[in-house]
């Protein structure tokens, strides 16, 4: 806010009571000019009554409503975008979307095509963990793997470890020709496998490092850090 400008030219307003000019006597009230009745001592105002103020334009309310609806529209669009981002934030479209040690669930899309999705490693449901990344499928050795089409760093192959719990039962296809990673799942231990192209096992133990299993049990070992040994009993 600015201060009001000084009087023009920097001068102070005229003082009607200037000093040095005393009241001059000798100018008495002039006779012969009596007060004439009927003359108002105050100036008269034109007739016609009070003029009402102009009406406020309804355009102001229109602009207010447009502003409100505009804000609502922006909030709706922002909400839709946020929901879309939240719904797709765990999708894994290339190898750069996950780090070594992250966990994924593999879901089927069409045919034998699968889609990995990043999940919390603390889940008790069957899932995979990312043990390493390789330049090709051969670089994963005996590990399960996911590879991505395309070029660039995001097309590395993910080498996966099956995350299973001791005392639970699982089934999986005997080969990649009869199923995919999406077909590996937990089943009731008293149940039967899906078909002759599947094998069902019970996990007797899960050990850190490379271990020998008891006689009659089969071992499933992962030699990449962190090293894990599963001791399994075939139940079908």
What pLDDT, in 10s, does the model give residues 116-141? Answer: 999 999 999 999 999 999 998 899 98
Determine the average pLDDT of the residues in 79-94.
Answer: 56
Which of residues 227 and 9 earns the better pLDDT score?
227
Percent of the chain past pLDDT 90, that is, above it, reads: 39
Beta bridge partners of 187: 169
Question: Does residue 105 sit in the same domain as residue 157?
Answer: yes
Contact 161, 184 (CB under 8 A): no
Determine the average pLDDT of the residues in 207-217.
Answer: 94
- Which pLDDT belongs to residue 10? 41
Beta bridge partners of 198: 173
- Environment class of residue 224 by beta-carbon count within 10 Å: exposed (0-12), middle (13-18) or buried (19+)? middle
Q: Is 25 part of a structural domain of the chain?
A: no
Q: Which of 12-26, 115-129, 176-190 has the lowest mean pLDDT?
A: 12-26
Report CA 52 to chain centroid distance, whole Å.
Answer: 55
- pLDDT-based confidence at residue 1 (cuts at 50, 70, 90): very low
Question: Does residue 122 sit in the same domain as residue 187?
Answer: no
Per-residue model confidence as pLDDT tens digits over 97-113 = 999 999 999 998 877 67
Q: Is 140 part of a structural domain of the chain?
A: yes
Contact 211, 218 (CB under 8 A): no
> 52 pLDDT exceeds 90?
no
How far is CA 29 from each of CA 18, 33, 34, 39, 72, rounded to the nearest angstrom?
Answer: 23, 9, 11, 19, 77
Contact 203, 168 (CB under 8 A): yes
Question: Does residue 170 sit in the same domain as residue 154?
Answer: no
Q: Where are the beta strands (DSSP E) in 57-167?
A: 103-108, 114-119, 127-134, 144-146, 157-163
Of 163, 191, 216, the residue at which a domain comes to its end is 163
- Which pLDDT belongs to residue 75? 60
CA-nearest of 211, 213, 217 to 235 is 217
Expressed as residue numbers, the domain containing 201 is: 165-236
> Does the global pTM surpass 0.85?
no
Q: Is 234 part of a structural domain of the chain?
A: yes
> 2 pLDDT exceeds 80?
no
Contact 105, 117 (CB under 8 A): yes
> 164 pLDDT exceeds 90?
yes
> 13 pLDDT exceeds 50?
no
Question: Does residue 169 sit in the same domain as residue 159?
Answer: no
Q: Is 138 part of a structural domain of the chain?
A: yes
Domain count, the chain: 2
Q: Is 2 part of a structural domain of the chain?
A: no
- Which pLDDT belongs to residue 53? 58
Contact 157, 146 (CB under 8 A): yes
Q: Is 114 part of a structural domain of the chain?
A: yes
Report CA 7 to chain centroid distance, whole Å.
Answer: 60
Q: Is 223 part of a structural domain of the chain?
A: yes
Q: Is 19 part of a structural domain of the chain?
A: no
Question: Does residue 95 sit in the same domain as residue 136?
Answer: yes
Q: Which of 7-16, 66-75, 191-200, 209-218 has the lowest mean pLDDT?
A: 7-16
Determine the average pLDDT of the residues in 74-93.
Answer: 55
- Which pLDDT belongs to residue 196? 87
- Which pLDDT belongs to residue 153? 62
Determine the average pLDDT of the residues in 209-234.
Answer: 94
């Amino acid at each position: 806010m600015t201060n009001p400008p000084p009087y023009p030219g920097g001068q102070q307003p005229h003082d009607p009571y200037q000093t040095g000019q005393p009241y001059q006597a000798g100018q008495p009230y002039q006779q012969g000019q009596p007060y004439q009745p009927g003359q108002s001592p105050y100036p008269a105002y034109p007739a016609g009554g009070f003029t009402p103020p102009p009406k406020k334009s309804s355009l102001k309310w229109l602009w207010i409503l447009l502003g409100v609806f505009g804000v609502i529209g922006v909030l709706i669009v922002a909400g839709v975008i946020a929901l879309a981002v939240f719904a797709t934030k765990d999708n894994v479209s290339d190898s750069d979307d996950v780090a070594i040690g992250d966990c994924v669930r593999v879901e089927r899309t069409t045919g034998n095509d699968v889609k990995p999705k990043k999940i919390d490693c603390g889940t008790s449901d069957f899932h995979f963990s990312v043990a390493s990344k390789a330049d090709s499928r051969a670089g994963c050795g005996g590990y399960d793997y996911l590879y991505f089409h395309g070029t660039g760093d995001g097309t590395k192959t993910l080498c996966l470890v099956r995350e299973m719990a001791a005392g639970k039962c699982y089934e999986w296809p005997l080969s990649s020709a009869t199923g995919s990673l999406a077909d590996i799942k937990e089943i009731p231990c008293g149940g039967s496998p899906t078909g002759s192209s599947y094998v069902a096992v019970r996990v007797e133990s899960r050990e850190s490092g490379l271990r020998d299993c008891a006689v009659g049990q089969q071992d499933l070992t992962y030699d990449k850090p962190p090293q894990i040994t599963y001791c399994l009993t075939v139940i079908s």
